Amino acid sequence: MSYRSVNPYNGDVMAEFDEIGDAALEQAVATAETCFEAWRRTAFAERAAIATRAASILRQQAEDHARPMTQEMGKRISEARGEVALSADIIDYYAIHAERFLAPEILQPEAGEAHVESEPIGLLFGVQPWNFPYYQLARFAAPNLMAGNVVMVKHSGTVPQCALRFEQLWRDAGAPAGAYTNVFASYDQITRLIDDPRVKGVALTGSADAGRKVAARAGQNLKKSTMELGGSDAFIVLADADIAKTVKWAMWAKLNNMGQCCIAAKRFIAVDAVADAFFAAFTDAMTRLTPGDPMDAATTLAPLSTEAALLTLVAQVDRAVAHGATRVMGGGRIDRPGSFMQPTILSHITRDNPAFDEEFFGPVALFFRVADADAAVALANDSSFGLGGSVFTRDIAEGQAIARRIETGMVFVNQPTWTAADLPFGGIKQSGYGRELSRAGIQEFVNRKLIRVASIDDAP
């Protein structure tokens, strides 16, 4: 497996890193296992002090952390700064709330006393993607470290400098050796780590194909796992929607991180009454995007993360068109240096078209016209994915009613699906299982142990 920093804006190779050797990996696991025995007994206040320092360092050194994201995967610098701030917020959130979230739960049995305690389970292994190089790590590491677990992370091979920076962040904050460990692991080593009895749980954020492989391996070892996989989120525009405001959110929903986001809006579903107005305004807004240096705050269209990502997306569009989709605009690479994709809109996508049930990871929007709200719900649910979705309407009660009918883990009304430390994040169907963030995120990898006290003289 390659660990290389390649700037997708100009193709420059900035750094390369060797995979970890087997002996070094064994030492890393042993160190983490030893660390856990002490870390699990560390008071919440001490863990929180370290986490708070980590969040503070992120904020104080925001530019130093944001720049590598832009250089390694092309994220616009304004979005990179926002991700640094979000990551710090997540770490702070668990520093503040972890002890309360994991406090013993007092039960009320018919006789005697009982309560449930939440105990850490040990070393957790996370496989994390490139598209949000710090946020993905923060939402895995912060709750689990605060719960008393220790974490080992295999980050994407395309963002190794971000991976090292996040590991250094915890060291600088005072975390003991083995609490947070980055490993530049090979595919074989990933398998061995999942098999290793010292690893007690596995978390993956990635594609459905990667999820199947990792979940299957974890299952063979009877290990708890969480899977945050892909999505094909529906962006539903109802008849009474404020079109001007809705189009602004549609652009944000599609172009955040250049569409390289599991919860990016991918299927835009408008009812007949407003379809023409929405489609015209959305198309006009897409034509106004201009490519440029992602380090320049004025840039509105950044490159995709890698050349391979660009070629994959172009091939998807070509296949969709070959199966009958209409190419409204774009569809190919931009004729300039860098991995730039034209802003693209496809329409007239029938159910037998491969594009109907694929995830398009980039600035490609699929447009659907439907008769009414019922048809919009039916189309939104006709997907193997079930991550997020959004509904735009002036009638909040109607929006909530529609949201209840959509088969996903998250639905937002009058804003696109997004993330915050205090909101549970996760999906159903091929979008995976388990939840991250909020109270739910810290409960995934703890042992909810019942402790029961009863009179020795009472019958069971």
One of 19, 72, 167, 228 is an active-site residue; which one? 228
Active-site residue flag, 359: no
Residue 371's φ and ψ, nearest 5 degrees, are -75, -40
Count of helix runs (H) and strand runs (E) in the chain: 14, 20
Task: Report the distance separating Cα 35 and Cα 98, nearest Å.
Answer: 20
With contact defined as beta carbons under 8 Å apart, do 380 and 400 qualify?
A: no
Active-site residue flag, 228: yes
HSE-CB of 318 using CA atoms within 13 angstroms: 8
Residue 317, H or E segment = helix 307-322
Tokens standing for residue 414 = 């009058």
C-alpha closest to that of 93 among 393, 324, 421, 435: 421
Tokens standing for residue 257 = 């991180």
Task: Report the distance separating Cα 287 and Cα 343, nearest Å.
Answer: 7
What count of other Cβ atoms lies within 10 Å of the Cβ of residue 257? 22
Question: Distance from CA of residue 213 to its chain's centroid?
Answer: 18
C-alpha closest to that of 224 among 98, 125, 104: 125
Find the length of the chain.
460
User: What distances in angstroms separate CA 364 from CA 304, 332, 422, one per listed residue?
Assistant: 12, 10, 30
Helix, strand or coil, per DSSP, at residue 81: helix
C-alpha closest to that of 179 among 376, 285, 38: 38
C-alpha closest to that of 80 among 65, 66, 90, 61: 66
With contact defined as beta carbons under 8 Å apart, do 120 and 36 qualify?
A: yes
One of 79, 261, 262, 436 is an active-site residue; which one? 262
Task: Report the distance separating Cα 156 and Cα 163, nearest Å.
Answer: 8
Q: Return all residues near 429 (Cβ < 8 A) that are at least 6 apart.
A: 383, 384, 385, 386, 407
Task: Report the distance separating Cα 433 and Cα 421, nearest Å.
Answer: 18
Instruction: Give the torsion sign (CA, 271, 273, 279, 284).
Output: negative
Tokens standing for residue 109 = 């049995």
Residue 205, H or E segment = strand 199-205
Active site residues: 228, 262
